[in-house]
Structure 1
Amino acid sequence: MNVLVILGAILFILMILIGGKKGARSFIALFLNFGVLFLTILFMTDPTVDPIVLTLIASIVISCITLFYINEVNRKTITAFISTMITIVILLLFILIMTENAMIQGFGEEEAEELSIFSLYIGVDFVKIGAAVIIMSTIGAITDVAIAIASPMREILNHNPLISRKELFKFGLSIGKDILGTNTNTLFFAFFGGYLGLLIWFKDLSYPIGTIVNSKVFSAEMITIFCAGIGIALIIPITSWITAYFFVKARDNNVE
């Protein structure tokens, strides 16, 4: 407990020193988002609640905290929020179809021993739970890319007020190309860092490559990474177009 408090205090001090008031809000937002996730998990245990609807509500709240609480309500955060919601809806429909066909819902053989004393008949749809888990895993990366594109597009418009909508859109895409590779690699290495123990266990048990790739635990995590990558790829043109459209429209209305 003392270690957690010390690490939290160090993080809080560094975020204030580097980010100022925005850094303090970012630190508070961590706990707010944790609270949202915790409440979402609690409500998901109720069989009468649809996990997909609950996930959409949680995604909206998390996006509002991440975008509006940290960066305040302005034109760039509004466009980033709209882009995030559009991407989440598209991605959710795709994930629902993919999760059901890939049959990655539920638990793998490697987790069976730990769960053997518990009953799995808890009255929830594991296909929807699987889709909800993937969405929750990608929402942070999607909102991050959305604001990372909208913010510099706002700056370039301030420095070049006469820029056309097409050129502004291309500028957003050029930023997205740089973000795409780094964020995808971040998700990939986060998986290997988090599941390094599992991979070592696979090696000690002399699992062949085919067994590892086809195991439910490995496949579920890789599918999560691929879906997150798809979400990041989708959010780039969506944010670029929406931001360019609304920013140029607002500029033209002000000129008139």
Structure 2
Amino acid sequence: MLGVLGLILLISILIIGGDRGGMSLVALCGNLFFLSMGIWLMAEGVPVFLVIILIGAIVSYITLFYQNGSNIKTWSAFIAVLVTMSVLVFVVQGVIWGSRAGGLNEIQSAGEEVLYYDMNLDISMQKVQVAVILLSTLGAVIDMAFTVTASLYEVKSHKPDMTNKELIESGIRVGKDVIGTTINTLLFAYFGESLLLLSYLKMRNDSLEFLLNSKILFQSCASMLLGAIACVLVMPISTVLLAKMSKIKNIEKGENEI
């Protein structure tokens, strides 16, 4: 069944997306390879934060440059993503360490399956939780950054006489238009992922107090909120970067190289 669904997706992307759809599939395969490599490196004992930095930078580079070329909109988005994720890593680390939200949640540790887990792992579960939040947030941050820079790129190419102030204001307006849908996407993604587990907790007749203080609810809500914060932060950063870079190099219609 998974093979059939994958084949349907492949055919749909190639028919509708054409050459760009094929490029997105290649980029997706590359990202999956490096994400799998990151999991293997963490399991082998490589420092988690080093893996996060390397894999995050590689995935961002493949997603932006392979599909869209090297130009000021991709460079602006790439730098904005790196800056945002560098700030976010300290915020996420503080939240996870302060709440001790790493490791197994109530569902994972309640059943007999926990007997088959090896608890003597030479890796910090809190660091792994930081990696999970950052990597699950990365896609939405890249999408937000490139949406803003691509929109401003088109605005600047059609109105090259715009000042930096006007360009930044235009970027903020674009960001305001898409931030609502982005946050809704994050909300429903995390909530939908946890819906069955939350229903299971409710069916066990656990109290509302227990549910609200459960680790599973905290992990989902923290991931959603931190992802939303990152998407909001990357919006002005990418806007300012594109405005500054467009000032250094004038945008001409049809320009592809920086």
Name the TM-score class by shorter chain. Answer: over 0.9
What is the aligned partner in structure 2 of residue 105 from structure 1?
Answer: 102
Q: What letter is aligned with 2:120?
A: Y
Partner of 2:68: 71
Q: 1:12 aligns with which of 10, 13, 26?
A: 10
The equivalent residue for 1:211 is 210
| Partner residue, 1:31 | 29
**What amino acid maps onto 2:142 in structure 1?**
T
Cα RMSD after superposing both structures: 1.3
The one-letter code sitting in structure 1 at the alignment partner of 2:29 is: F
Q: Is 1:240 aligned to 2:217, yes or no?
A: no
**Does the CA-based 8 Å contact 1:105-1:130 persist in structure 2?**
yes
Letter in 2 for 1:156: V
How far residue 53 of structure 1 moved from its aligned partner, in angstroms, is 1.0
Moved more, 137-146 or 187-196: 187-196
Q: Distance in 1 between matches of 2:158 and 2:208?
A: 53
> What amino acid does structure 2 have at the position aligned with 1:180?
I
One-letter amino acid matched to 1:59 = G
Q: So what's the TM-score if we normalise by structure 2?
A: 0.93
Give the aligned partner of residue 85 of structure 2: 88
Query: 1:251: which partner in 2?
Result: 250
Kept in 2: contact 1:22–1:71 (CA 8 A) = no
Question: Residues 162-216 of structure 1, C-alpha deviation per residue, up to 9 Å, x if partnerless?
Answer: 0000110111111111111111111111112222211221221122222112111
**Cα-to-partner distance string for 1:198-244 (whole Å, 9 max, x where unaligned):** 12212211222221121111111110111101100100010011111
Alignment of 1:154-165 (within 5 A): 154-165=153-164
**Equivalent residue runs for 1:120-135 within 5 Å:** 120-135=119-134
* Distance in 2 between residues matched to 1:159 and 1:109, nearest whole Å: 55
Q: Cα distance, 1:4 vs. partner? A: 2.1
Structure-2 separation of matches of 1:127 and 1:214: 18
2:59 alignment partner in structure 1: 62
Alignment partners' CA distance in 2, 1:163 and 1:11: 41
Q: Structure 1 residue 88: deviation in Å?
A: 0.6
CA distance in 2 between counterparts of 1:25 and 1:213 reads 43
For these two proteins, the number of residue pairs brought into alignment is 249
Task: Assess if the C-alpha contact under 8 Å between 2:77 and 2:142 holds in 1.
Answer: yes
Taking structure 1 as the reference length, what is the TM-score of the superposition?
Answer: 0.93
Q: 2:41 aligns with which of 40, 43, 51?
A: 43
2: distance between equivalents of 1:251 and 1:157? 9
Distance, in Å, in 2 between the alignment partners of 1:224 and 1:193 is 13
Match of residue 153 from structure 1: 152
Amino acid at match of 2:150: S
Is the partner of 2:181 in helix, strand or coil?
Answer: helix
* Structure-2 separation of matches of 1:123 and 1:70: 38
Q: Percent identity?
A: 31
Q: Which runs of 5+ in 1 are unaligned?
A: none
User: Equivalent residues in 2 for 1:138-149 (5 A)?
Assistant: 138-149=137-148
